[in-house]
Structure 1
Amino acid sequence: MDLLIEGFKKAIEMLLSGNPEIFEITWLTLRVSLTSILISTFIGIPLGILIGLTSFRGRRLLLVLINIGMGLPPVVAGLWITMLLWRSGPLGSFSLLYSPIAIVMAQVLVSLPIIIGLTSSAFQQIDEKMLMQLKSLGATKLQTISLLIKETRIAILAAVIAGFGRVIAEVGAAMMVGGNIRGETRILTTSIVMEVSKGNFDIALALSFILMTLAFIITFLLTILQQRKKSNETNYSVR
């Protein structure tokens, strides 16, 4: 218990002292995590809609692969990205390994299947009668998709929240492709692992409190947005 209290005090002290390294690590963590989830969202939601609404050969196998990807171990994702960016790899000439871009690529790899899988699942559960009704009313494909997105937006936001939770807590792949280089690729999760290995549990706990605060704030904002939409829909239906 004393260790937790000391860790919390250390976190407050590090923040109030204006430690530039802590702010740099926190900012980089926030930047790569938000970039990763935005990329995964912009790619994953359209793909999830496409897979959820259409029928094609190999669709079932694709869904199996997506579901497997939802549980992809981060170290495996890190290994694949490392091989891709290695000097002798396909993208080795770009010298992206051990850079924030490499961390973003690894985080996209672990979060993208989650957003695709949960989004496609939400669209697969749409009542076929609704689709037939929209078609009978003469709605275009664009109008139909727009209306269906509004119908499933709570589930879509849940997919984004789940994806963000995966990237903000990711450590294995970030350590492998980023190298935890001070001032360049060191983020909160990799810093915590490093401090624990050095026996600095008070600093590790302080960093963990900062990380949890970041995760809480962003998840809280996304949840408020999600529930506000639900509340608006409930009020509209009552009227």
Structure 2
Amino acid sequence: MTSIWDGIQEAFELILHWNPEIAGIAGLSLAVSGAATLLAAALMIPLTLLIYLRGGWLREWTTRLSYILMGVPSVIVGLLVVLVISGNGPLGALGLMYTPQAMVIAQFFLILPVVCALTMTIIRREGRSILRLAKTSGANNGQIIRLLIRELTPEMTATVMTAFSRAIAEVGTVMIVGGNIRHSTRVMTTAISMYTSMGHQSLSIALGIILFVMTLAINLVVLLIQGESQWK
């Protein structure tokens, strides 16, 4: 019990003094997950809205497929990315393996179905009245998509933050494609796993506290946004 308490005390000291090792790991985590989330949102939100407007079988199958892919184990996503970017893969010549760029790619594909499924849910629940008004006024698909994004900004923001929370908490995918290399591809989740197995309690606890605070803050903001939208 004493060693655990000592580890917690040392962890808070590391955080308060902003240990360079911890700062670098936390910074890389934010950069990788942030880039993957922004790319996924920029591509998938407008595309999902366009698919919804097209309707028919494409909309139904996209919705079903997105929910199915949300349940795919993250290590499978990492494995598929490795097969593409490794030396023998189609993109092997680019030298992406064990780089932050590879981690961004892996997290990008991991959260694509999350963004798609949540966006579909938002339109079905909140966007139908906006769609009726836009179609009545004779707006084209591009104008309708811009209108939906503008009118549903709080809900879309919650979607993006949920996807970011999923990305930054990921272990398996980034471990496979990144390799957990110090000062290069080591992020909070992979570092916590490694430091815990090595018995470095203070470092793993410090990173765990930072990751917990980040995800808690994101989830609280999402809840606040959803609560405000329900009271409109």
TM-score (normalised: structure 1): 0.84
* Aligned twin of 1:11: 11
Match of 1:157? 157
One-letter identity of the residue aligned with 2:97: L
Name the structure 2 match of 1:175.
175
- Residue matched to 2:139: 139
Cα distance in 2 between the residues matched to 1:184 and 1:130 = 46
> Aligned partners of 2:70, 2:19: CA distance in 1, in Å?
37
Percent of pairs with identical residues: 37
In the comparison of the two structures, how many residue pairs are matched? Answer: 232
In structure 1, the residue matched to 2:206 is 206
Shift of 1:221: 5.4
Cα displacement string for residues 87-113 of structure 1 (whole angstroms, at most 9, x for unaligned residues): 010110011010101111111111111
Letter aligned with residue 178 of structure 1: G
Give the partner amino acid of 2:55: S
Partner of 2:21: 21
Q: Alpha-carbon deviation of 1:3?
A: 6.2
- Map of 2:79 onto structure 1: 79
Secondary structure at the aligned position of 2:152 is classed as helix
What is the match of residue 95 of structure 1? 95
3-state DSSP class of the match of 1:103?
helix
2-side partners of 1:113 and 1:14: how far apart? 37
> CA separation of 1:2/1:177 partners in 2, compared to 1, >3 Å: closer, same or farther?
same
Q: What's the counterpart of residue 237 of structure 1?
A: none
CA shift, 1:32, in A, is 0.6
Further displaced range: 83-92 or 8-17: 8-17
Change in 2 beyond 3 A, CA 1:192/1:146: same
Q: Which moved more, 1:171-180 or 1:136-145?
A: 136-145
Structure 1 residues not aligned, in runs of 5+: 235-239
Which one-letter code corresponds to 1:211 in the other structure? L
Give the 3 Å change call, closer, same or farther, for CA 211–18 of structure 1 in structure 2.
same
- Matches of 1:221 and 1:58, distance apart in 2: 33
Task: Tell me how far apart the structure 1 counterparts of residues 28 and 200 of structure 2 sit (CA, whole Å).
Answer: 22
Q: Deviations over 1:128-164 (max 9, x none)?
A: 5653443333434443333323443333222212211
Q: Deviations over 1:19-66 (max 9, x none)?
A: 222111111111111111111110111122122222244443332221
Counterpart Cα distance in 2 of 1:157 and 1:7: 37
Aligned-pair CA distance for 1:220: 4.8
The question of whether the paired residues in 1 share the 8 Å contact of 2:165 and 2:218 is answered with: no
Amino acid at match of 1:159: T
Pairwise CA RMSD: 2.6
Please tell me whether the aligned partners of residues 170 and 189 of structure 2 are also in contact (alpha carbons under 8 angstroms): yes
Q: Secondary structure at the match of 2:185?
A: coil
Seen in structure 2, the aligned counterparts of structure 1 residues 129 and 194 have a Cα distance that, compared at 3 Å, is closer
Does the 8 A contact of 1:86 with 1:92 survive in 2? yes
| Superposition TM-score, scaled by structure 2 size | 0.87
Structure 2: unaligned runs, 5 residues or longer:
none
